[in-house]
A and B are shown apart, each in its own frame.
Chain A
Amino acid sequence: MIKLFKVKEKQKELAENANGKPPVKKQSAGELRLHKDISELNLPKTCTIAFPNGKDDLMNFEVTIRPDEGYYLGGTFVFSFQISPIYPHEAPKVKCKTKVYHPNIDLEGNVCLNILREDWKPVLNINTIIYGLYHLFTEPNHEDPLNPDAAAVLRDNPKLFESNVRRAMAGGYVGQMFFPRCV
């Protein structure tokens, strides 16, 4: 409960000291938790992280994955991460910036990874997501398709899928769709 006589004093003091302090920035709880996630990152050799807005904006960053095995060996794939002020209550927004022929990534860069949506939990972290993304390249999965054509080819004809991936990564057409070079 408020002590009214103290309130009186405080309001008088405030009136006297108006315009005393420089404006300061408020750091959200989400930013602090993200600071912890980032400072504890333990990335595999195949993944690197970059901060396009400099060292003081951790809320927007890019992760580059260069798979060292599987269909996507040799390719370079860039993901953008956008973190909300109420992270980790809400999952990061992740998009694939590299156009890729992949059953679980559509041509707009949407990614079907369970922990980014329905299975996100606040105990998960940025490291978990990056490992999850890496996993998509070593083991693409035809059961959760976002690119149904690619998923069908992977399921029915893995050899053809492999050559389609190669062609797309080298810069070329798969069917009607052109993919820029990413190797």
Chain B
Amino acid sequence: MADSTAKSSRTRDLDKLLERRGPLVGANFLASSETISDIKEFLNVLVVGAGGLGCELLKDLALSGFQKLEVIDMDRIEVTNLNRQFLFRLEDVGKPKAEVAAKRVMERINGVEIRHHFCRIEDKPLEFYEKFNIIVLGLDSIEARSYINAVACGFLEYDSDDNPIEETMKAMVDGGTEGFKGHARVILPGLTPCFECTIWLFPPQVKFPLCTLAETPRTAAHCIEYAHLIKWDEVHSGKSFDPDNLDHMQWVYTEAAKRAELFGIQGVTYSLTQGVVKNIIPAIASTNAIISAACSLETLKIATGCSKLLSNYLTYNGVEGLHTKVTEFVRDKDCLVCGPGVLIELDASVTLKKFIDILKDHPKLFLTGVSITYRGKNLYMRAPPVLEEMTRPNLDIQLFELMDRTPKDIIHVTGAAGKGEKKQSCLRKLRVVFKGLDGVTDLDMAGGA
């Protein structure tokens, strides 16, 4: 009895919130004492990244009642992490971040179970990601976000009316910080814009012209990039530069410093060298804390429906004064990653050639000059000639066979869409479903299209 009192006291405020209805609760909200126990028992949350944001996220989520967490990170702890990645101690340097972060949170918060994965996100099979209901991202690169987004959206299925099927939706909450700035966003694939719908939000990387680096350096960054991009190759023929190798970094710093002296430029330091080469911006602990808090709260709201969600992109800027803004971005309805694509039903006997003819007359496509790709296999390429020749034999093969006898799947086609003067070059996603296969019963196709 004493034990249960102690337990309920820890989530007392949360219990109150989840046991009563309020004016702002979501449509799915069930005022019930079971909600919190269901979250603990059934909800799987993945935290991607165990760095500055990841440490905060794990702590915040564990304290918000989430008990089944997993964390994935490929990095080991470095001394420079310790000022803000508060789950790590000096004696942890060199150990995997995911492992130590999971251990420390479990030590401090009773009942929390955190499985850790010390590997690259690409190393996990796609099925690994299937069991998660919510994926929370604490990452620092566009590549990694784009990958997780593609994986999560890959599970999304649409019904025959192009409405997303709720149970297949993997919600994502994405946090990001850069110095005093940060963002938090909620991605409900099929309902709100996915990462790829709004990839244009990311500013292009600053790249200096190579000839400026080679001939007319004016800044410390120019000297560093010269050593990194030009001098390295000149000296280490064939050996590629590894930004995580300390000797490599030291070499670039030394060369950059020599060049700066030659041109009378001030300001080349080792940390600036790291910053320029690895594109590092100094991390601010409080920015991570603020963004993580926002992400954790949204995760709780997605899980319980206890309040309206952030819709759908929060920006935070603490550089001069403090500014925050929420923007409601819109989906790209033709998004290749999260969009429904055009539903096409086919007989299993249709050859690739016949399929291309069908696309030509399809009322939603009128697609000509078609090239087709399926899960990284190029089934047909109309150009260049070398690829056309290699893929031409596929034209007489059944599409069903080319798709490894998969009853329904996504394929991508490029070509010119539309009629007459309005023809436009395009890249489209198609949901191909084969009809009349024995033993195939699909609930979502039962209505027919």
* Cα A55 to Cα B274 with chains together (Å): 38
Q: Is the CB of B207 within 8 A of A3?
A: no
Which residues of chain A come closer than 8 Å to B391, judged between CB atoms? Answer: 55
- How many A-B residue pairs lie within 8 Å, measured between CB atoms? 179
Chain A minimum-CB-distance residue to B34? A4
Distance between B207 CB and nearest chain A CB, rounded to angstroms: 4
Q: At the interface, yes or no: A32 with Cβ under 8 Å from chain B?
A: yes
Q: Is the CB of A40 within 8 A of B234?
A: no
Q: At the interface, yes or no: B376 with Cβ under 8 Å from chain A?
A: yes
- Most A CB contacts (10 A, CB to CB) among B171, B303, B427 go to B427
Closest 8 pairs between A and B when the two form their complex, measured CB to CB: A39-B371, A1-B305, A144-B211, A117-B207, A36-B414, A108-B233, A112-B211, A1-B26
Interface residues of A (CB under 8 A from B): 1-4, 6-11, 14, 21, 23-33, 35-36, 38-43, 48-51, 54-56, 58, 84-86, 89-91, 104, 106-112, 114, 117-118, 120-122, 144-146, 148
Q: At the interface, yes or no: B43 with Cβ under 8 Å from chain A?
A: yes
Of A39, A111, A112, A114, the residue contacting B382 (CB under 8 A) is A39
* Cα A121 to Cα B203 with chains together (Å): 11
* Cα A109 to Cα B181 with chains together (Å): 38
Q: Is the CB of B384 within 8 A of A28?
A: no
Q: At the interface, yes or no: B205 with Cβ under 8 Å from chain A?
A: yes
For chain B residues 208-256, which have a beta carbon within 8 Å of chain A? 208-211, 214-215, 229-230, 233-234, 237
Q: Is the CB of A41 within 8 A of B230?
A: no
- Most A CB contacts (10 A, CB to CB) among B43, B131, B211, B371 go to B211
Chain B minimum-CB-distance residue to A14? B131
Cβ contacts A to B, 10 pairs, < 8 Å: A2-B28, A11-B44, A32-B427, A35-B373, A38-B383, A49-B386, A54-B390, A56-B378, A89-B142, A112-B210
Q: Is the CB of B412 within 8 A of A2?
A: no
Q: At the interface, yes or no: B395 with Cβ under 8 Å from chain A?
A: no
For chain B residues 123-156, which have a beta carbon within 8 Å of chain A? 125-127, 130-131, 133-134, 142-143, 146-147, 150-151, 154
Contact A39 to B414, CB < 8 A, known contacts A23-B125, A58-B378: yes
* Cα A85 to Cα B134 with chains together (Å): 24
Contact A56 to B377, CB < 8 A, known contacts A39-B414, A114-B209: yes
Q: Is the CB of B133 within 8 A of A7?
A: yes
Q: Is the CB of B147 within 8 A of A28?
A: yes
Interface residues of B (CB under 8 A from A): 26-30, 35, 38-39, 42-44, 125-127, 130-131, 133-134, 142-143, 146-147, 150-151, 154, 166-167, 171, 196, 199-200, 202, 204-205, 207-211, 214-215, 229-230, 233-234, 237, 301-305, 309, 336-337, 371, 373, 375-378, 381-384, 386-387, 390-391, 412, 414-415, 425, 427
Which residues of chain A come closer than 8 Å to B125, judged between CB atoms? Answer: 23
* Cα A104 to Cα B27 with chains together (Å): 62
* Cα A86 to Cα B163 with chains together (Å): 28
Chain B minimum-CB-distance residue to A10? B167
Which residues of chain B come closer than 8 Å to A146, judged between CB atoms? Answer: 210-211, 214
4 more A-B residue pairs beyond the given contacts A23-B127, A39-B381, with a C-beta to C-beta distance below 8 A: A4-B28, A26-B147, A43-B384, A51-B386
* Cα A103 to Cα B229 with chains together (Å): 18
Q: Is the CB of B126 within 8 A of A110?
A: no
Distance between B66 CB and nearest chain A CB, rounded to angstroms: 13
Distance between A74 CB and nearest chain B CB, rounded to angstroms: 23
Of A8, A21, A30, A114, the residue contacting B42 (CB under 8 A) is A8
Distance between B389 CB and nearest chain A CB, rounded to angstroms: 9
Q: Is the CB of A145 within 8 A of B214?
A: yes
Q: Is the CB of A118 within 8 A of B336?
A: no
Q: Is the CB of A29 within 8 A of B214?
A: no
Distance between B336 CB and nearest chain A CB, rounded to angstroms: 6
* Cα A56 to Cα B380 with chains together (Å): 10
Of B143, B229, B230, the residue contacting A85 (CB under 8 A) is B143
Distance between A106 CB and nearest chain B CB, rounded to angstroms: 7
Distance between A26 CB and nearest chain B CB, rounded to angstroms: 6
Q: Is the CB of A85 within 8 A of B146?
A: yes
Which residues of chain B come closer than 8 Å to A35, judged between CB atoms? Answer: 371, 373, 378, 412, 414, 427
* Cα A50 to Cα B386 with chains together (Å): 7
- Most B CB contacts (10 A, CB to CB) among A31, A39, A58, A120 go to A39
Q: Is the CB of B210 within 8 A of A111?
A: yes
Which residues of chain A come closer than 8 Å to B230, judged between CB atoms? Answer: 106, 108, 110
Of A25, A32, A41, A43, the residue contacting B412 (CB under 8 A) is A32
Q: Is the CB of B210 within 8 A of A110?
A: yes
Q: Is the CB of A55 within 8 A of B387?
A: yes
Which residues of chain B come closer than 8 Å to A24, judged between CB atoms? Answer: 126, 375
Distance between A125 CB and nearest chain B CB, rounded to angstroms: 10
* Cα A80 to Cα B387 with chains together (Å): 17
Which residues of chain B come closer than 8 Å to A27, judged between CB atoms? Answer: 150, 373, 375-376, 412
Which residues of chain A come closer than 8 Å to B205, judged between CB atoms? Answer: 90
Q: Is the CB of B337 within 8 A of A29?
A: yes
